[in-house]
């Protein structure tokens, strides 16, 4: 679906792409977290494992 210049100005391109194609960034983040937790468990990391920091957040 094509939008006119006026319509496109209201909606950031990322939001439009997410609607059309899905949120690949969120899906990758979820998969990475699941793999990280699985690796920690398999490598004997039974101690508490903190979640990865997201962009703009502190890892502390």
Of 28, 29, 3, nearest in space to 13 by CA: 3
Q: What is the pLDDT tens value at each position of the chain, 60 positions in all? A: 555 555 545 568 888 888 899 999 899 999 999 999 999 999 986 555 566 666 666 655
Distance of alpha carbon 22 from alpha carbon 29, whole angstroms = 13
Rounded to the nearest 5°, which phi and psi values hold at 42? -70, -30
CB count within 10 Å of CB 11 equals 11
Rounded to the nearest 5°, which phi and psi values hold at 58? -85, 145
pTM of structure: 0.50
pLDDT of residue 22: 92
pLDDT of residue 8: 47
pLDDT of residue 27: 95
């Amino acid at each position: 679906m094509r939008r006119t210049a006026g319509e496109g100005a209201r909606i950031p391109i990322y939001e439009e792409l997410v609607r059309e194609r899905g949120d690949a960034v969120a899906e990758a983040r979820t998969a990475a977290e699941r793999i990280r937790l699985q690796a920690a468990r398999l490598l004997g990391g039974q101690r508490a494992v903190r979640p990865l920091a997201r962009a703009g957040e502190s890892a502390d």
